[in-house]
Amino acid sequence: MDRRDFLMGSSLMAAVALGGTAANAQRTSRALADPASLKGPFLDLTTPAGNREAWARLLGNTDMKSTKYGWAQGIVMGVRPGEAVRDLCGFTMLSTARLLPNPGPDGGYRKVLREIGYYTDLASGEIITEWKNPYLNETVKVVPIKNDPFNHTITDFFPDPPNYGGLNTFKPPRRPFQLHWTKRRGLLSLESHINLFYPSALQPSKWPRESASPFAQVTEMFNYVINWADMQDKRRTSVEYQGSWHRVTPWLPWMLMGPTPGHAMYNTVMGSFDDINQIDRRTLDYVAKNDPLYLKAPETWEEPSLSSLEWYARQQKPAPVPEGQPVPRAPDPELPAWFKAIQAKMKTGA
């Protein structure tokens, strides 16, 4: 909910899931390989209007009064060349969203959302405020995800990708809103993703410990599973879903990985509910105590919509590097014994 840019898409969540890349456009014909199966008694998911209403009911409530609650839970992993992927910490997220009328010429809806994500201990599941970096053997302060707002429009056309306060200037050609649905028996599935590459708000010249690249290279991946009967029930103004959210992103800035090669990856399950009491109770209690604003959806459209990276640049301060010292980086991975043995044999010609 990153999302993600969380979540929901972040993630964080749903806004970045909309696509806007050439790859998504090329796959539309495959998504409609069996168009008859996507034509229901209420919504025809082969049409932009049908996709608009389906998407709005997944991400919000078309009564334009009620709140839709999103959640995600999983782990954050570290990916470095030369070693196995490592599980670093857990993750839990809550988002609250509301639909508003879209006053623009395309009509449809405005979706307004705020989302919060916390990092958790792998063993206990408790939300953490400090984390022991296993690569650097250093204890660092954990910075939660707090995206408020993260908004977008839902119309008969794909919206532009998030601009993250003007950092991402890419605007794809305007095209009809057709998502990548698959229907199997009584279940409707949806795959959505976006690949981003834009100037980072955390330039290494200013943020040497937080960032290794002048560009943010981020991919968000979403999978939704929906009850077909619910989607075709015209009495429902909201449709719940279950699914998964994945994010490939630079090292999280608060990890202070500096120029260490590699990146982070989120692997989570996600879903949405109309009843807030269906959300993980431990997460709800923590939000209520520490960040109660995030229990309520926004009521108005506001700008800008930023991801956690841009908020970090605006709200945090660069970690110091001692004068005259190199920027700390993690030692290179130790090669496995079996690989060293092979290398030794190659050198000796044995």
The domain segmentation of the chain, as residue ranges, is 15-348
Encode pLDDT of 285-305 as tens digits. 999 999 999 999 999 999 888
pTM (predicted TM-score): 0.87
C-beta atoms surrounding 92 within 10 Å: 23
Q: What is the distance between the alpha carbons of residues 6 and 15, in angstroms, rounded to a whole number?
A: 10
Average pLDDT over residues 244-261: 98
**pLDDT confidence bin for 34, thresholds 50/70/90:** low
**Sign of the Cα pseudo-torsion (81, 84, 90, 94, in order):** positive
Is the pLDDT score of 13 beyond 70? no
AA letter at 120: T
Retrieve residue 183's tokens. Answer: 């229907």
Q: Which residue has the tokens 């105590």?
A: 289
Average pLDDT over residues 148-172: 85
Taking alpha carbons only, the member of 272, 266, 268 closest to residue 297 is: 272
Residue 350's pLDDT is what? Answer: 62
Q: Please identify which residue in the block is written with the tokens 């296993």.
A: 134
Omega of the bond leading into 304 within 30 degrees of 0 (cis): yes
pLDDT at site 171:
80
Confidence of residue 336 (pLDDT cuts 50, 70, 90): confident
Given pLDDT bands bounded at 50, 70 and 90, which one contains residue 9? very low
323: its two tokens: 């004068």
